[in-house]
Each structure stands twice: as C-alpha cells, then as structure tokens.
Chain A
C-alpha cells in the first residue's frame, strides 16, 4: 500500500467538507480559503480548489458575489447557500459518525 497515496485520498475526501466548514462562519474568496486550508495543512496544490468550488457552486451548495477590493479587481466571495447549509449539517453528522467509528476501532486494543 502506498502510504502517500492513501493520505492524499483521505485528504481529497475531506476537502469538500472542510471547504463548506470554512465558509460556514463567513463568506471568503478563493485565496482566503487557500490560505486557511494551507494553514490547516490540507491542501498540497492550490489548483485543486478551483474545480471544487465551481462544482459545489454548480451543485447549488455555494453561491458567490462580486465584491470590490482595495487592491486590484473585484473578487468572487463564496458563501453557503441554504442547500449548502443543510448539506453541511448532514456532513457534520457523517463526520461525527466516522470519527466515532475510528476512535472505537482504535480503542479496541
């Protein structure tokens, strides 16, 4: 088993959930999200985020607004849509379940 591959698969699976989580508190634009994901050591290459954001937006989980910025052209600020919030709640539950399962298995020994 390729350990690096397994790790990146895990990260990939979580990325969607984490992006929704980040956007729950306040709307952000792509570079903010990138910075936060990098701080959390979740993102290796930045390019992965853009297809993800577009997909979530097309699925109706996210919506965006153009906002003027003090430096340079306007930016796209992404925020959760009502559907996205519902989806996030479900993912929250799924995550607690998963974490519970993993902890349970870990504590067996």
Chain B
C-alpha cells in the first residue's frame, strides 16, 4: 500500500505515488538548476514538464490509475539526464581541455595526483547532513575525502591564535560556498555520478538518514554553537553600531560637500562637527564618502538579493560574483580607514583658530595677515558660524 497524492502538472491533474512524486520533483529541480543559467531556461523546463504531462496522460489512457516510481523512472530515462541535456554545448570544450589536463597530470605526480583523485568529480558544497554550524568544514572534509574533525580542530586553533581571523574566514566561506540542497547537488558533493537512478537512491536515502552522533560529538557541537553564537552576537552588534555611525558620518560629509565653499552654516550643524570637515581636502572626503556608501550598500544589496532569490536556486549569485562583492567590501574598508583617520586628524587639529585668539595680532591700521586652510568664525554667543576656505 502506498500513499497517493494529486499533482498539477502543466494544468492537468494526475494521481501519483508519493515516492514517485519525490523523484519527479527532484528531477525537475535538477532540470531547473541545470537550465537555470541558460537563456530561456524556464521555458525549456516548462516545455519538458508539458511533455511529462503528456506521457502521464498516455499512461492514464492505457488504464494506469496512479503513476508509480517505475513509470517516472522510465520517463526520466526517456527524456534524459539533466546535466547531459544542458551541457550539450560544453562537450566539445571539455575534449580540447583534455590534453592540457593530461600534461598537467604527467608534470606533477605524487601529491597532486592523489589530491586530484580525492576530489575527482566532486564539487564543494556545504554539507547539510553533518553540520555543526553551517556545514562548511564538513563540506571541505567531504570534498577532500578527509574526516571533518581535522578541519574543525584546525579552525578552532586558527581562531584562537589569530585574533579571530579564523572566525572571519569561516563567515566568508559560509557565504561563498553554497549548501547542497537538491539531491543532485548532494550527489555532486559526494562525487557520485548524477544519473536518474542515483538521484532516486539519494532521495530515498536522505529521508531515511538517522542522525546519531554520540555524546562527544553532540557535546562538541553544542559548545561550539554556543561560543559561535556569542561571538556572532557581539560582531553583529558591533557592526550594527559601526554602520549606524557611518551613516551619520555620511550624512555630515554629504552636507559639507554640497555646501558652497564660503557659506554660513547654522550652529546646530556646526555642532555636529561639520565645520571640522573643511580642514580636509575635498578629494579625501569624496573617497571617504564613496567608500562609506560602498560599505553600506554592498551588504544591503547582498541581503536584498538573497531575500528576493529565496527558493530560486538557479537565480542565486555565483561564487565569482560573491567573491567580487567581498573584495569590493574589503577594499572599501581599506579606503575608509585611512581617509577617515586623516579627516579626523586634520579637522580636529586645525579648526581651533578663531578670531578671538588672533585679535591681539591686528596691526594699528586694522589689517592682519596669517595663513590658513580654512577659517571658522563663530559669534560670541555661538549663534552663527561662518566658514571661509582658501580653496
């Protein structure tokens, strides 16, 4: 006896066994991820679904009451393997690369060979079936054919002895490496060939998998999770405060840049430290402003992109795109810190020149000379501030 469900495929209703449905679902998911990057990929998958519906229709006409897993297997074999269908054009390129690979193999035997052998046919994914935090290290273990515990211990040692660099590295890896969500991704993670049969086995196996790790592993996992959560909390809190203060700084800088060179500013703005900015060269402020905008915009863009593509794996950012964004973000920090420090140093050091401190240097004929980058004049009752710039 089998549980039976009704599905809607291309606008037609079919009775189908539950396991057959799971298999069909994983097949169309694989199709979607295989064709997703292609032009008109959605259309191709819809057409194939319509074809499957038609074949189901034929089965029903032949007196099949409910579609079974055997029927689905047959249809999948008939329509073909997703990777092969989508990879049609790349087949020739792979051939021409072969000779190069052969040369490389002959050139560097030994370690290279064995490492290659281990990762052959595999792709790096985060492993959702054996994870402490997000499955990065378990995935690396899977990829290199080693025990993940080695990587976990290494990461802990790295984090403890490098002032938290390991932690940052882990976060970056967790963002860069995708999780193995669909059955074919799980197969690629393990280096098993993606065929309709293997997908079916993986679907069945994955549902039956019992996670029992024993006391030590569970204890380790809980401790690491607690510490990780604690550090992550502190980091997020700090980043939040830093980003908020950056936003305020950004507003101040933009206001300063948009005001004319010599102008009156209300004292309320002067109190924000706006006048300090006039001591610094505008180019420095512009670099500072641009890097702050990048610093704020990149994570916001990433977050919105992640939200809007949730549940659509084929639209997700590729590793290249993520890497570029992360590098741009780091570059923004590297630009922001020195320019920011310069603005702070020059601004606060020089704007203390006031008319009062210079008054007694005025000559008899009521003229005086001195050099300045910018001059801040404030009324005695602080009601008005005037900034005069030499530039």
Give the A-B pair count, Cβ closer than 8 A. Answer: 60
A71 to B12, CA, bound (A): 11
On chain A, the residues within 8 Å of B40 by CB distance are 54-55, 57-58
Q: Count the B residues whose beta carbon is within 8 Å of the partner chain — how many? A: 26
In the complex, the chain A residue whose C-beta lies closest to that of B92 is: A9
B54 and A72 contact, CB distance less than 8 A: yes
B85 and A31 contact, CB distance less than 8 A: no
A54 to B43, CA, bound (A): 7
Mark A10-33 against chain B: 1 for CB-CB distance below 8 A, else 0. 001000000000000000001100
A46 within 8 A of B: yes
B12 and A12 contact, CB distance less than 8 A: no
Q: Which of B76-84, B197-205, B311-319, B337-345 contacts A (4 or more CB under 8 A)?
A: B76-84
B57 and A30 contact, CB distance less than 8 A: no
Q: Which of A12, A31, A50 has the most CB of B within 10 A?
A: A50
A30 and B47 contact, CB distance less than 8 A: yes
On chain B, the residues within 8 Å of A71 by CB distance are 57
On chain A, the residues within 8 Å of B35 by CB distance are 51
A48 within 8 A of B: yes
Q: Looking at the complex, which one of A12, A34, A44, A50 makes contact with B44 (CB distance below 8 Å)?
A: A50
On chain B, the residues within 8 Å of A73 by CB distance are 10-12, 50
B57 and A45 contact, CB distance less than 8 A: no
On chain A, the residues within 8 Å of B70 by CB distance are none
Closest 7 CB pairs of A and B: A45-B80, A47-B80, A47-B79, A47-B85, A54-B40, A50-B47, A73-B11
Known contacts A51-B35, A73-B11; 12 additional CB pairs below 8 A are: A30-B50, A30-B51, A44-B80, A45-B78, A47-B48, A48-B80, A54-B39, A54-B47, A55-B39, A58-B40, A73-B12, A76-B47
Interchain residue pairs with CB less than 8 A apart (18) = A30-B47, A31-B51, A34-B51, A45-B80, A45-B85, A46-B78, A47-B79, A47-B80, A47-B81, A48-B80, A50-B44, A50-B47, A54-B39, A54-B40, A55-B39, A55-B40, A58-B39, A73-B10
